[in-house]
Amino acid sequence: MEDPVTLCTGQTYERSNILKWFSLGRFTCPTTMQELWDDSITPNKTLHQLIHTWFSQKYLQMLKKSEDVQGNASEILDTLKKVKGQACVQSLKDLRQIVTNHATARNTVVDKGGVTLLSSLLCPYTSHAISSEVVSILVNLTLDSGSISNLMQLAKVSLVIDMLSEGSIETKINCTKLIQSLTEEDDCEQIVSSHNLLVALMRLGCEGGGGGGVRG
């Protein structure tokens, strides 16, 4: 309700709705069905002020929550530049949680150069735990052509294909999504022609057909 008005019966309605009711030739109170002895409508200033206050508070809460999420995303990105091992895995898990649930966090990660930072963690010596978390975050982000070109480096592609073969079901799903994004680019010959990718996809298909793997 944005513009509450009160009838002579004491009932309050949205102005546009009650005027539409009157325009249909109905000069009764919609709630009580009493015939109106006075068809004037009076602005309900008290209710209007309460509605305005409620919306203002909600807006401020949403704004603060959005700022908190953006701040958390930026803080985690800064942390990822400094930590290694299990601390890195935990930071990635925290980042994955907020980018999965908040569009503002996804935008912040992209705007703050997070894609480049995450891509740098995909290397031959990266642990499976870190790699799988990185991929789970990347599939939630909007990747530009530069980011995709970076991810199409042979070492990174090979790592993703290895995870496609040996990772958990969730990791396999995320790797498949990421590979699909990469193969949509024009310069994707090295991925499409990869023997290891073909083997991994065939193995994934066999697992799905056996009832224990990924289903389409």
pLDDT digit string, tens, across residues 38-48: 888 899 988 88
R_g of the chain computed on alpha carbons: 28
Between 53 and 214, name the one with better pLDDT.
Answer: 53
Region 104-119: mean pLDDT is 90
Domain contains 40: no
> At residue 13, does pLDDT exceed 70?
yes
Average pLDDT of span 5-34: 91
- Asked if residue 169 belongs to a domain, the reply is yes
CATH number for the domain harbouring residue 195: 1.25.10.10
Q: Evaluate whether residue 20 is within a structural domain.
A: no
Residue 135 pLDDT level (bands cut at 50, 70, 90): very high
**What pLDDT does 189 receive?**
53
- What is the CB-side half-sphere exposure of residue 145 using CA atoms within 13 A? 3
5 within some domain: no
Question: Which helix (DSSP H) or strand (DSSP E) does residue 5 occupy?
Answer: strand 4-6
Average pLDDT over residues 31-59: 85
pLDDT exceeds cutoff 90 at 146: no
Q: Is residue 105 part of a domain?
A: yes
Query: At residue 75, what is the residue type?
Result: E
In a domain, 188, yes or no: yes
Instruction: Tell me what the pLDDT averaged over the chain comes to.
Output: 80
Q: How many domains is the chain partitioned into structurally?
A: 1
pLDDT of residue 205: 53
| Cα distance between residue 31 and residue 28, in whole Å | 9
Give Dmax (Cα) for the chain.
85
Domain that holds residue 158: 70-209
Judge whether 28 lies within some domain. no
Strands 4-6, 42-43: pairing kind: antiparallel
42 part of a folded domain: no
pLDDT score at 62 = 64
User: Any alpha helices (H) in 2-44, and if so which ranges?
Assistant: 15-23
Three-state secondary structure readout of 128-196:
HHHHHHHHHHHCCCCCCHHHHHHHCCHHHHHHHHHHHHHCCHHHHHHHHHHHHHHHCCCCCHHHHCCHH
